[in-house]
Amino acid sequence: MSSAPFTFVDLFAGVGGFHAALGALGGECVYAVEKDVEAAAVYERNWGIQAHGDIINDTETHMRVPKHDVLAAGFPCQPFSKSGLQRGMDEARGTLFWNILRILEVRRPTVVLLENVRNIYGPRHRHEWDVIVRSLRELGYQVSSRPIVFSPHLLPPERGGRPQVRERVFIMATYVGTRGSHIDVDPSVPHLPVDGWSPSEWDLETHLPVQPDPELRNELRLNLGPAETTWVEAWNDFVVTLRSAGVEKLPGFPVWVDAFIHEDDLVVPVGTADWKASFLRKNAAFYTEHQDVLEDWLSRWNYLRDFPSSRRKFEWQAQGASSLAETVMHLRPSGLRVKQATYVPALVAITQTSILGDRLRRISPREAARLQGLPEWFDFGDQPDAATYKQMGNGVNVGAAYHVFREHVLSSLAAVRRRAPRLALAVEESAISPDEALERHRDSSREVIVRRRRSADARRVAG
């Protein structure tokens, strides 16, 4: 029997965002699954647990997933059948969510913590959403018909928040038995800033914090290439030139250099989409009002003729900044997007990794890990940066998961206490932030790693 206050399984685990959150509450992981080889290697390096590669083999014929108190999963969204006559579990057959339901059917953990992209509650996936809710209720779990939507930038730093907008859907369910599971409840966590926190108070330099340049002296791969540097310098000159000319408010709409034409000469082709026609008119009006200033800027940069189409577009979302040095940038297919240096958009693929304006470099892998709430001791080994960025882009934010789970259990304390009193007590006595607890959790993770290595060595000697 585990000495930990509760046990959990970590499905589709990535590098262990859920593990970090639940481990910080005192939980012990008794099973993990992750098919990506690189992510599984990072998981084992840090948590001392070798993740299984295929959940199907462990659930379909024989249940090899051990008993546990909490099931956590960042599951992939797959289309379900639409017969309308089957129970939810049958409609989910053939998807990985069915394997989750199979575990719940056999093991009946007290709390279920699921995470997915926000679109899972959108119109395209409404059937899947309804099946998920109905399936959980049929198995005796009380769950809201509306999602919890939460992002780490809504949490203040002292509660484990991070300067990243990463709105995700969390599905929280508590086992109450089939007699009470069909009673709808409100989402246990509101989509609001916590404790009066204002997300505009975030500052990347201090709250991330940004790594000082000496730490990255040899990290030339983070620097912008010559062409990228030219694009940024040209658009920085655009901002500075307009500011110097007394333009206090830059356009809030996308600026398209190819649409710079005097209003008197503008012809919008018949059949042009409304949104595009609007942008064409706005750009023509902007050019007409500031023609002399813009022509002066364009002539200095050869009218951006050497720039690819996507770099002849500019999205300014940093009103108040006097130059790009005060911003965070993204090189996107839709143009160079510029935001205030408060918080960054959700981590995605490396091609859209945030660029720090004052450093003219991309955020580092360590900074990306910080944005996801992983501790400083978290070790990615010697894997390529691209793998780390991918894992962070696919990962669960630790602070957000910790907050959502903790708040849900506190709101369902009576039901949780009936089946898992030690879990309830652990959450009642927990800190409001996972950060300090994660530093302590490092020691227990190392103990697990050492214990497993000794066991493996003993088996080799015996063999």
Q: Which residues are catalytic?
A: 77
Q: Which strand (E) or helix (H) includes residue 181?
A: none
The answer to whether residues 17 and 11 touch, using CB atoms and an 8 Å cutoff, is: no
Q: Which strand (E) or helix (H) includes residue 163?
A: none
- Structure token digits, residue 139: 């198995």
Q: What count of other Cβ atoms lies within 10 Å of the Cβ of residue 249?
A: 9
The answer to whether residues 71 and 9 touch, using CB atoms and an 8 Å cutoff, is: yes
Q: Which one-letter amino acid corresponds to residue 32?
A: A
CA–CA separation, 402 and 409 (whole Å): 11
Rounded to 5 degrees, what are φ and ψ at 61?
A: -100, -50
Cis before residue 251, ω within 30 degrees of 0?
Answer: no
Q: Maximum Cα–Cα distance for the chain, whole Å? A: 88
The DSSP result for 114-125, as a single string, is EEEEGGGGSGGG
CA–CA separation, 358 and 371 (whole Å): 18
CA–CA separation, 431 and 412 (whole Å): 18
- Structure token digits, residue 318: 């940093």
- Structure token digits, residue 62: 């024989």
* Pairing state between β 361-362 and 355-356: antiparallel
Q: What count of other Cβ atoms lies within 10 Å of the Cβ of residue 357?
A: 23
CA–CA separation, 328 and 344 (whole Å): 7
The DSSP result for 240-296, as a single string, is HHHHHTT--S--SSPEEGGG---GGG----TT--HHHHHHHHHHHHHHHHTHHHHHH
Q: Which strand (E) or helix (H) includes residue 422?
A: helix 421-428
